[in-house]
Structure 1
Amino acid sequence: MTKINIISGFLGAGKTTLIKKLLKEVYQGEKVVLIENEFGEIGIDGGFLKDAGIQITEMNSGCICCSLVGDFGRALKDVMEQFSPDRIIIEPSGVGKLSDVVKAVKDVQFDSTVELDSYVTVADANKCKMYMKNFGEFFNNQVEYATTIILSRTKNIKQEKLEEVVKLIREHNKEATIITTDWEQITGTQIVAAMKKDNSLVDELLKASDICPECGHHHEHHHEHAHGHEEKECSCHEHEEHHHDHHHHDGEECSCHHHDHHHHHADEVFTSWGKETPHKFEKTEVENALKALSETDEYGTILRAKGMVSGADGNWIYFDLVPGEYELREGAPEYTGRLCVIGTNLSEEKLEKLFHIS
């Protein structure tokens, strides 16, 4: 029996960190295939999970919610045939809608040896309110269709704020199990037990939402699938790694201007900028760049920045940024430096200057 787990979450929520914990503490000994869907031009996360012994299929060419009928369905079947895995973990784009992913997985014709095990959303407790306000079409969908919602970064959150976050989530999903305890205090086994909640709620939501069979969007979606019009492709990407909260700013509110989006493709709202670079960076140089991205709107509204670059001292610098916080750490050498920034109204020219892209 092959079990399929969908682990969704908005940009920078901590999906990859959760997956690593589950692989280490629960799924050891299983043959696991991770299918990642990226939003952007440069695949960043493929290298982060190599040491876990996981086969990764990155689909940089298209958004999971638009490509599922073709590429994604084929990818799933190829995985089954090539690897005969015990488990498939699907990590959708951070700007993908969970309803689209669930619908598309259900549409793939599997035999009786495949079981949909769980639909999970990882949500940053410090940013739920802000993301609901500014990117509700995408963030709220991930909350609404999850059977388990795992809050990240709850270690130092104030009790009243945590309770407010749970209340906000309950307004969108009354039935899901919500994990609020800091991940360091509970085991992967405890998390998996919560993830095994019955999926009937999702089935009911999918039925009630009258989703278009062509692309997984609601029937009132603006794209016209049945009238000979060319479907607009979208390019989605995102992944996350370690976050140790080294640098904090007030991330509760942001200057985003997408408060009222209805049935959009991700590429109608979000933009990605990705580059490869051989430039050797001073650590202070990278930190100053992240500080500029985090504290100003000069480069656009930055929702996620990630990369690995060669350091001037011979060490490699890995970095992650989400609104209000960023982290630098040392990492293993890569074949070349890679950068990716995701947000809205990005100034590519200024980003190229900031990161010395000639």
Structure 2
Amino acid sequence: MTRVNLITGFLGSGKTTTLLHLLANKPADENWAILVNEFGEIGIDGALLADRGATLKEIPGGCMCCVNGLPLQVGLNMLLKQAKPDRLIIEPTGLGHPKQLLNMLRAAVYQPWIQVDATLTLLDPRQLADARVVENENFRDQLVAADIIVANKSDRWSDNDRQRLQDWQQQFLGERQMVEAAWGHIDPALLTQPALADRAVPDASHHHHNSRPQGLAALKLDGQARWRRALNEGQDYASCGWIFDGETVFDTIKALEWARHAPVDRVKGVLRTADGLVNINRQGDDLFIETRPTTPPDSRIELIHHQPADWNLLQTALLKIRLN
């Protein structure tokens, strides 16, 4: 039987970083699989999580709970049949609603095959000061659906952030467990905790305006195209992503400056540079950079903002920092 966890959390709460930590510390005798979903079409998390010791499936371009859950069902069935994992971790998009996911996982048809363990929801307490985030139904409902709250990015908190977290904890935590973490460094044993009794999680009312139908694989280049971009909008957010072929190499310093100064809420990318692979992960002013000796098959970068940005202007600047 496969044990399943949901790891949820709003945009920029640190889900992917937490997954990387868990994968680096998973029991050596366990076979793990990851089912990851992203708001944008490009599929950045799949590239970030590739070659980390787990079987990986991506569902880009929206959230798993849309389209009657069909993308989730197909991806889930493929992983259970092909990988036969001991543990499956599902990472929905930060704009995804948890209720339909959990209902599907607990359906009678899956009971012989999976056991649903604790749902972990990551919370960056700094977001409690942002009315736009606090008023977002997905942010609220992700926290309601959680069995364990991971108060993440503790190395970045101010005294006011900690006070807001304490106020939230007194009002909403109840009997649930909360742990503090920096850089998503949590005890992997949290995954083995049982799911708590169902709580009254509201139904999702959001919907997506996708640029293409949802699929089970990230966007790819066709024919002789050197690059292409894809747009997505929904739930009062917009994204723009680009994919470049394996021959394209970026100037490392200029690429990091582009990512640092892009006037958007969220930047994620996996780029081929003259210095090797560079992973970029930016939320607001927080910028995380990782270099790896491996070479990705292509370069991908995704921007997310609370309203459509000047994607053409950002694209022009991005194209100028290619070395070839």
Same fold by TM-score greater than 0.5: yes
Q: Secondary structure at the match of 1:118?
A: coil
TM-score, with length taken from structure 1? 0.73
CA distance in structure 2 between the aligned counterparts of 1:149 and 1:35, rounded to whole angstroms: 21
Q: Which residue of 1 aligns with 2:47?
A: 47
Task: Name 1:151's counterpart in structure 2.
Answer: 151
**Whole-angstrom distance in 2 between the partners of 1:176 and 1:316:** 40
Distance (whole Å) between structure 1 residues aligned to residue 52 and residue 24 of structure 2: 8
Shift of 1:166: 3.2
State the 1:351 CA deviation: 1.6
Distance 2:289 2:206 in 1: 41
Match of 1:255 in 2: none
Distance (Å, rounded) in 1 between the aligned partners of 2:214 and 2:166: 28
Indicate yes or no: 2:196 matched with 1:199.
Answer: yes
- Please list the CA deviations of residues 118-157 of structure 1 after superposition, one character each: whole Å capped at 9, or x if unmatched: 1111122333322664652221111111111101110353
Quote the Cα distance in structure 2 between the aligned partners of 1:108 and 1:355: 49
Corresponding position of 1:177: 177
Deviations 1:51-87 (A, max 9, x none): 3221111112442110453221232223222222211
Comparing 73-82 and 345-354, the one that deviates more: 73-82
> What amino acid does structure 2 have at the position aligned with 1:66?
C
- Check if 1:355 corresponds to 2:318: yes
Distance in 1 (alpha carbons) for counterparts of 2:194 and 2:64: 25
Q: What's the CA shift for 1:320?
A: 1.3
Partner amino acid, structure 2, of 1:105: L
Which residue in the other structure is 1:63 paired with? 63
Match of 2:252 in 1: 283
Cα 1:171–1:75 change in 2 (3 A) is same
Deviation at 1:179, TM superposition (A): 0.7
Distance 1:108 1:123, change over 3 A: farther
- Work out the number of aligned pairs and report it: 300
Q: Which amino acid aligns with 1:136?
A: N
1:180: how far off? 1.9
Structure 1 residues 292-323: Cα deviation after superposition (integer angstroms, max 9, x where no partner): 22xxxxx4xx2211112232x34333211101
CA–CA distance in 1 between the matches of 2:187 and 2:15? 16
Q: Read off the aligned partner of 1:149 and give its amino acid letter.
A: I
**Identity over the aligned pairs, expressed in percent?**
22
TM-score normalized with structure 2 length: 0.80
* Residue in 2 that maps onto 1:345: 308
The within-5 A match list for 1:115-264 is 115-130=115-130, 133=133, 136-182=136-182, 187-189=187-189, 191-192=190-191, 196=193, 198-200=195-197, 203-206=198-201, 209=202, 211=203, 217=204, 221=205
Matched, 1:271 2:238: yes
Query: In the alignment, is the contact (CA less than 8 A) between 1:93 and 1:236 conserved in 2?
Result: no
Give the CA deviation at 1:347.
1.7
CA contact (8 A) 2:14 2:183 kept: no
Tell me: CA distance 1:107–1:328, structure 2 relative to 1, closer, same or farther (3 Å). Answer: same
Q: Give the Cα separation in 1 of the matches to 2:42 and 2:174.
A: 37
| Unmatched 5+ stretches in structure 2 | 216-231
Is residue 276 of structure 2 the alignment partner of residue 309 of structure 1? no
Per-residue CA deviations over 1:230-279 (Å, capped at 9, x if unaligned) read: x9768899xxxxxxxxxxxxxxxxxxxxxxxxxxx971411111112355
Q: 1:318 to 1:71 in 2, by over 3 A?
A: closer
Alignment of 1:28-43 (within 5 A): 28-43=28-43
Please name the residue that 2:222 is paired with.
Answer: none
